[in-house]
Every structure is written in structure tokens, then in C-alpha cells.
Structure 1
Amino acid sequence: MNLKMMRGGACLPMLCALGLGLFSACTSEGGSKEAASTPATVAATSLTAAAPDTTTNAVATTAPKDSTATGDSTAAKAPAEVPVKDEAADNPGAILPHKRIVAFYGNPLSKRMGILGEIAPEKMLAKLDSEVKAWNAADPSTPVQPALHLVFVTAQGKPGKGGTYRLRMSDHLADTVIAWAAKRNAIVFLDIQIGQSTVEQELPRLEKYLKLPQVHLGIDPEFAMKNGAIPGRKIGTLDAKEINYATSFLNDIAVKYDLPPKILVVHRFTQRMVTNYKDIQLRPNVQFVMHMDGWGDRVLKKSTYLAYIKREPVQYTGFKIFYHNDTKKPGSKLYTPEGVLALSPKPLYIQYQ
């Protein structure tokens, strides 16, 4: 894929002390660039700041085809509602499908990685309250579980001391977000952007938090780089084997500490971000969410959801809403809860950035 580096629109911030650029998840305008087989454009601007600030935007020109309108045999066989096989659903404390998760994403050290760090904590939590209220009103049959989704391992534009193009946040940051979440009885997701590291190398450090019943895991394949690739210059990828390590790790933690089912959220907005999806192994103590992570207008986002989430089903589905990027196109409006609920299957994980 030929990616052109541009200035403006988004940024790859710098940490002054470390000289490392941090990346925000998410990034494609609806993820359409692969479906259209057109070059993508990544906006990358370096800022000088004392904390991470970043958003990388991969923009394309056309949307993926609606899976119901293609001649592809897989798409043609896709049911109206993707069947969910979940052994964990009846376990004590299971969240899905009994509740819909509404999460605020970002990093408190950054005003530009997402709503979690964009505004002061109390204002952020009040805004989360308003979104929870809106979703409860839109679908009273499915209570909302609020969540904070922290980018805890961040991709880097430079190799860093370990040469892995990733930066681990401090335990203090995780403790802070967990404390904020407790004020709203919210759960927490710790998200990892592994750069040139591996899932196997990053997860053991998280056990101290994942053994808490309210803490869950997110993985962003966009920044999982292979063959020496550098984050931000191309879109990364994870294979089912790597994802299976994560589901096994979470399942073992749930058993070891006698916990309710753990949730794994995997971000996706292109086909190649997740390979061999049929080989992803579901576990009896893990609930799996494949999350549509692209930005753009509503038509583009719906097309991406159908092409890469519905068409290649795993278990539960997620949908991201960008307060800023989804309205970049003149006349574009944010998806409302009612609009998201019109999708099939109905997402049970909603993330705001």
C-alpha cells in the first residue's frame, strides 16, 4: 500500500522528554481504502508537548461495497442477524449480551487522542452520563454499562529504547482511570498498540489489572506492525493465532482468579487488519467483540460495518463514533443511538472518541 505522509488534519505528537511520537487508534475514514483498492492518505503531524497528542487519519475516496449487494458467496450467506455462540453469557457477572457497553476512549495525557483526555475528568464523566442516558432511552430493553477505554500501550513513530516502536504508560495512569471509572460504576478497558512488540510480550504486565473483575482488554491491529514496518506508515495486522493467545490469556486469568467473563475488544476497519478470522477461538470465560473503528460519514461507516464486521462474524460487534472526525465532511452528522441500533446486527459495544 502506498501511503503518503501529509501535514495537517491530524497529528503524531511528541513526548518532549523521550522524543517519541504517540499514535491514536483508529483512523481510516470508514476503512474504505482497502475495498476500493485506492491509495490511502495518512495525516501525520509532529507536535511538541509534554504529553501524547495524536490522531492518524487514513483517508480514502470510496466506501466498501455493502455485503448484501455483492456476489461474494460469504456475503450472500450472511444472515440478517449474525448468530452469537457465547458459552460465557450465562456465567455469573457476564456483561454481554445482557447490557450494552458505552465507552469513552483516549488517554488522559492527551487532549487529541479521544474524549477520555480531551476535557477535564468531571466534565468527561458528566458527558458520559449524558450518552448513557441517551442509549438507555433509545433501547430500554438493554441497560447500559458505562466504560472508560484507556490506550495503555501506545504505538510510536520512533523505535525507542527497546526498538519496539511502542511506549508503555505508567501504572499510575491506569490506577487513575480505574479510580475515575469507579465513580460511575464503570468498567475499564486497557488497550494495547504493540508496534513491533508482540501480544505475548505485552499482556503479562497487564495481569495485575486484568485480575480485577472490572478491567478488560482491547487490542488495536492497526498498530501491530510486521516485517519491520513503522507505525503510521502503513496499517498493521493481527492474525487469529495472535488473537487466540489473548483470548487464552484472558480465559486463564478468569479461571485463576475466579472472575466473571473477561471481554476482548479488537479494533478493525479494513479486511487485512485481522487475518484468518474463522480460526479465532472463542473461550468459555471470554466474550469477544469485533469493533468497527473507522471514521467518516454515516454511509461510509455503515458500509464498513457491513463489509468487515458483519461479513466476517466472530461473536459480538462494536461501533465507534468520533465526535470530531465523523463530521469533517460538510453536512455530515454523528450517528445517533437510534441510527446505530438500526444496524444489523445491533452492536453491543459503542465507543466514543
Structure 2
Amino acid sequence: MLDAGKEGVYRLFPSIYYTDAIKTSRHEENFKPYWVASESEIVVEPQVAGQDESIILNDDILAFYGHPRSERMGILGRYSITDLDTRLSELAVEYGAVNGGRGVRKAFYLIYGTVWPQGEIGILQESILLEYIQYALERDILIFIDHQIGRYDPIDALKKMLPYLRYPNVHLALDPEWRTTKPMQEIGSVTADEINRAQQVIQDYLLEHNLPGERLLVIHQFNWRMIQEREKVKSDFPRVRLVHCADGFGSPTLKAASYAYNAQATNMPIKGFKLFYNFGIPGAGYDQPLLTPKQVIELTPRPYIIMYQ
């Protein structure tokens, strides 16, 4: 991730972030060549009908973000599932005390597609993903699976994740920063048309497979170039709730400026906010100081999805 206020060229090569994941993946074959699963390769499980109201109508969402196989890519890779659950529950109490009486839904936010040099993509091993999904299903925890896109079309990246919507607690995310063939050298981007088509593809999939309820699609942004023609993004798909998430680390002043820029996009009214812990990793960015839950909730407009990396 870049500093929220930084422009231009990255200074760090991806290996500083991904060394742990590479070593583990090579030994255990935890990533595969990029491919898009066809519908014939997926057995869609029947679903129990759920409520059609928005899951953020009465609740905020609080998530821990990262790659399960890398301590360098966020808090989610630094602890076991049970430890993450405990820590997230403790943080949820803090948010519940300042969010005006709204509920707090816990979530695990997994990097599913990780960008490599030349924009290639490493895919999270399915058995690991399903372990998180099953644990979360049994405890009313949400799952977000995030794709960094790389050199691929965002719709193809999205289609890779669609079959997991058969699980009612699964939601999707795309990170335009990594939609590039030169990760860590340039900031990637998606277009408004691609975001709109992504929402349509999700909605069509839900209808085709008779999957109930709405699903969230999170789009990250910390730099103007990450969403081209941003004013043309739609957010009126009945079955897809678009979330515009402010990304990027830095001081409170920088983060406030980044969030204020995202707030200008009133055509994407549901906002998210991301915070970065300091784990003492050389070269890794973090928030200094970390905003308090009260400060986060007081952002304008208030974020409804809050994630910690």
C-alpha cells in the first residue's frame, strides 16, 4: 500500500510483503495458475432463504484484513482464526460503545487473488478459504474475498470468485491499486464501466442461481487514478450494495484528506474505511497514530464498513 498522500513510483519490491506467502505456497502448492472456473466445475449448494433487507441497515461491519498465509500482509495472517475472532470481538465492543446504538457485524477480509510481478495472480488455496467460510458460517461472521486483479480483466477476476456466493455469508471485493502489470511501480485502475459491469455480473449470478439477499461489492480507492470516470459509477443495483472504501496509510491528516476525496463521490454513498496496524515490519506502512473508534465513526459521511490491516 502507498501512503494516502503519495503519488508516483513505488519504492518497494513485492517480495518484502509476500516472502512468507511465497515460501508456504511453494511447499504446499497453495497457489495455482490463474484460471476462471466454469459453472460446470462448480456444484452450487441449495440455500436457505434469508432476509432481503440490507445487512448494513442496522449494523456496521468490522473486519480484519489480510492473507491467511502471510504475516506481512495484514493482521488476518498473524493469528489463528480463533484468536482473530477473540480480538475482533473485543474491538467490536469498542465500536458498539460509540456507533449510536447500531449493531456490529464481525468479518474476515481475505486476500483471495494476490498480484505477482508482471501482473500474474496467485490464488488462495480453496481448502484454506473454506476453513474460514465454515468457521464464519457457524458464528454469524461475514467473509469478504478480495481480488487484486493484476493484468486480468476485472470481470474475469470477479467470475473466479462468484461460485463462493453459494455461501450466504460471502461478499466480494476488487482492489484497483493492483490492476496493473507493474505492481509496486505504478498505481493500477479500473473504469466506471468495469465497476458497473461487475455489479451487473454479480446480480445476474445471484438471480440465475436463485441465491437470496443482497451481496456487498467493495471497491478500494486512495488515489484519483484508481477509478477512471468515477462520476459514472452506478450504485442502484437492487441485489448488489456497492461500498467505496478509503484505503491508504499515513497520519490522521493524510487519511482525513483521502477520505474527504472519496466523500466527494456522492454517487457511491456507502463508504468504507481502512486502518493499518504497526507490526514493526521493515518498509511496511502504517497509521501513526491509529485513529480511535470514535474518530472513525465521526468521519463524514460515516463509514459503514471498517477494516483493519
Scaled to the shorter chain, the TM-score interval is 0.7 to 0.9
CA shift for structure 1 position 326: 11
Using structure 2 for the length normalisation, give the TM-score: 0.82
Instruction: Name 2:44's counterpart in structure 1.
Output: none
CA shift for structure 1 position 293: 0.7
CA shift for structure 1 position 28: 1.8
Within 2, Cα distance between the matches of 1:236 and 1:329? 19
3-state secondary structure, aligned to 1:42: coil
Within 1, Cα distance between the matches of 2:254 and 2:154? 30
CA shift for structure 1 position 181: 1.9
Instruction: Name 2:252's counterpart in structure 1.
Output: 298
Q: For residues 139 and 195 of structure 1, do their structure 2 counterparts lie closer, same or farther at Cα, with a shift above 3 Å needed?
A: same
The one-character-per-residue Cα deviations of 1:257-308 (angstroms, maximum 9, x if unpaired) are 241111010010001001112221220111111001110111110111002x
User: Identity of counterpart residues, as a percentage?
Assistant: 29
Q: For residues 156 and 261 of structure 1, do their structure 2 counterparts lie closer, same or farther at Cα, with a shift above 3 Å needed?
A: same
Q: For residues 145 and 41 of structure 1, do their structure 2 counterparts lie closer, same or farther at Cα, with a shift above 3 Å needed?
A: same
Among 189, 198, 203, the residue aligned to 2:153: 198
Instruction: Name 1:51's counterpart in structure 2.
Output: 24
Among 233, 239, 248, the residue aligned to 2:185: 233
CA shift for structure 1 position 330: 11
- Is 1:310 paired with 2:266? no
Within 1, Cα distance between the matches of 2:256 and 2:108? 24
Within 2, Cα distance between the matches of 1:248 and 1:329? 35
Task: Kindly report the root-mean-square deviation, in angstroms, between the aligned alpha carbons of the 2 structures.
Answer: 2.3
In structure 2, runs of 5+ residues without a counterpart are 26-50
3-state secondary structure, aligned to 1:51: helix
Within 2, Cα distance between the matches of 1:102 and 1:330? 18
Equivalent residue pairs, number? 275
Counterpart amino acid of residue 51 in structure 1: T
3-state secondary structure, aligned to 1:265: strand
Instruction: Name 1:289's counterpart in structure 2.
Output: 243
Within 2, Cα distance between the matches of 1:139 and 1:279? 31
Within 1, Cα distance between the matches of 2:156 and 2:130? 21
Using structure 1 for the length normalisation, give the TM-score: 0.73
Counterpart amino acid of residue 142 in structure 1: R
Does structure 2 retain, via aligned residues, the 8 Å contact 1:155–1:193?
yes
The one-character-per-residue Cα deviations of 1:122-157 (angstroms, maximum 9, x if unpaired) are 211111111111111111421111111111011002
Q: For residues 331 and 245 of structure 1, do their structure 2 counterparts lie closer, same or farther at Cα, with a shift above 3 Å needed?
A: closer
Does structure 1 retain, via aligned residues, the 8 Å contact 2:275–2:287?
no
Counterpart amino acid of residue 57 in structure 2: P
Instruction: Name 2:39's counterpart in structure 1.
Output: none
Among 114, 124, 140, the residue aligned to 2:74: 114
The one-character-per-residue Cα deviations of 1:163-183 (angstroms, maximum 9, x if unpaired) are x51112222121012123235
Among 101, 108, 128, the residue aligned to 1:173: 128
Q: For residues 92 and 45 of structure 1, do their structure 2 counterparts lie closer, same or farther at Cα, with a shift above 3 Å needed?
A: closer
The one-character-per-residue Cα deviations of 1:292-327 (angstroms, maximum 9, x if unpaired) are 1110111110111002x1012312001001111799
1:176-187 map, 5 Å: 176-187=131-142
Does structure 2 retain, via aligned residues, the 8 Å contact 1:297–1:329?
no
Among 277, 283, 306, the residue aligned to 1:323: 277
Among 89, 92, 105, the residue aligned to 1:145: 105
Instruction: Name 1:341's counterpart in structure 2.
Output: 297
Q: Which has the higher helix share?
A: 2
In structure 1, runs of 5+ residues without a counterpart are 1-26, 53-90
1:69-148 map, 5 Å: 92-148=52-108
Does structure 1 retain, via aligned residues, the 8 Å contact 2:10–2:184?
no
Does structure 1 retain, via aligned residues, the 8 Å contact 2:244–2:270?
yes
3-state secondary structure, aligned to 1:180: helix
Instruction: Name 1:274's counterpart in structure 2.
Output: 227
Counterpart amino acid of residue 218 in structure 2: V
The one-character-per-residue Cα deviations of 1:197-219 (angstroms, maximum 9, x if unpaired) are 11222222322201322111000
Within 1, Cα distance between the matches of 2:72 and 2:152? 24
